[in-house]
């Protein structure tokens, strides 16, 4: 009995320590996320200029970037952007491994629901001819604005939904929906070549200070790949629905 009590005590202590350990790990990130936004933005601006002019980054520069992106990851996880936070974390892991994200960010969006319904209607009209087919259907391109759905905007703001129907039993159809994307940022040079403006694209990262954001050039985020601090990778969301095909 005494041994069981000891084991239980250890388990409780571990469970209590885990949040504390995580808090300590992200303490620097929290201080940055809640710190002087103008000062932090000014340093980001300086590093953007360095990246744009292809100047070398010092060890201190890289340490600051590592911490600031950790702040973005932590901030996203506590502000309701869990999927985007996981995506940025994988980017900074520098492994390039594929990532499956929670499909609810897509499934719960009104624009996605409209496109999914349109895909279903098209599949239903073709139902009699797809019983042994491997045909894949694609939605129209979906554009997400930050005011429409910030949770999805930070994860994917421009994409299509693919649908693949399968018939396992008469009158029923399982449709697998999938969104395939790549976590990458547009480099300064590409923006200059295509648009004549190296700062055409940037990401407004929310901070823990109400009403304040930190704007980071996509060119700087892409430069992290150049200096071997991050790596691009594919990510996707997938979900399935079973439909009854009436009068088919």
Q: Are 191 and 198 in contact (CB under 8 A)?
A: yes
Q: In this structure, what DSSP letter does residue 58 have?
A: P
What confidence score (pLDDT) does residue 200 get? 93
What confidence score (pLDDT) does residue 16 get? 39
- Against a cut of 0.85, is the pTM above it? no
Q: How far is CA 104 from the centre of its chain?
A: 13
CB within 8 A of 197, min separation 6: which ones? 191
What are the tens digits of pLDDT across the range 162-214?
Answer: 999 987 677 788 899 999 999 999 999 999 999 999 999 998 887 767 778 88
Task: Provide the 3-class DSSP secondary structure of residue 157.
Answer: coil
Q: How many helices (H) and strands (E) does the chain have?
A: 10, 9
What are the tens digits of pLDDT across the range 114-124?
Answer: 999 999 999 88
What confidence score (pLDDT) does residue 63 get? 95
Range of lowest pLDDT (95-99, 141-145, 168-172): 168-172
Task: Provide the 3-class DSSP secondary structure of residue 239.
Answer: strand
Q: Has residue 50 got a pLDDT over 50? A: yes
Which of 182, 181, 184, 178 has the alpha carbon at shortest distance from 237? Answer: 178
Q: Has residue 81 got a pLDDT over 50? A: yes
| 158-159 and 142-143 beta bridge pairing | antiparallel
What confidence score (pLDDT) does residue 18 get? 37
Q: Has residue 15 got a pLDDT over 70? A: no
Give 79's pLDDT tier (boundaries 50, 70, 90): confident
Q: Kindly list the domain boundaries of the chain, sorted by start residue.
A: 2-98+188-232, 104-182+237-244
Q: Are 40 and 29 in contact (CB under 8 A)?
A: no
Cα distance between residue 169 and residue 204, in whole Å: 48
Q: Has residue 247 got a pLDDT over 70? A: no
């Amino acid at each position: 009995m005494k041994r069981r009590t000891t084991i239980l005590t250890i388990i409780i202590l571990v469970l209590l320590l885990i949040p504390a350990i995580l808090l300590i790990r992200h303490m620097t990130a929290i201080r940055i996320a809640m710190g002087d936004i103008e000062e932090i933005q000014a340093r980001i601006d300086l590093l953007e200029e360095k990246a744009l002019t292809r100047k070398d980054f010092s060890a201190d520069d890289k340490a600051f970037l590592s911490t600031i992106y950790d702040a973005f990851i932590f901030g996203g996880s506590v502000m309701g952007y869990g999927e985007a936070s996981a995506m940025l974390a994988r980017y900074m892991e520098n492994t390039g491994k594929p990532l499956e994200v929670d499909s609810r960010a897509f499934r719960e969006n009104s624009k996605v629901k409209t496109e999914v319904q349109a895909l279903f209607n098209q599949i239903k009209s073709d139902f009699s001819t797809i019983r042994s087919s491997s045909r894949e259907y694609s939605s129209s391109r979906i554009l997400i604005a930050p005011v429409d759905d910030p949770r999805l905007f930070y994860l994917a703001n421009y994409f299509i939904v693919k649908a693949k129907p399968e018939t396992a039993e008469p009158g029923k159809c399982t449709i697998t929906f999938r969104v395939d994307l790549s976590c990458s940022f547009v480099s300064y040079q590409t923006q200059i070549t295509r648009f004549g403006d190296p700062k055409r694209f940037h990401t407004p990262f929310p901070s823990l200070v109400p009403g304040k954001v930190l704007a980071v050039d996509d060119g700087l985020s892409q430069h992290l790949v150049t200096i071997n601090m991050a790596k691009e990778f594919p990510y996707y969301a997938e979900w399935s629905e079973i439909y009854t095909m009436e009068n088919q």
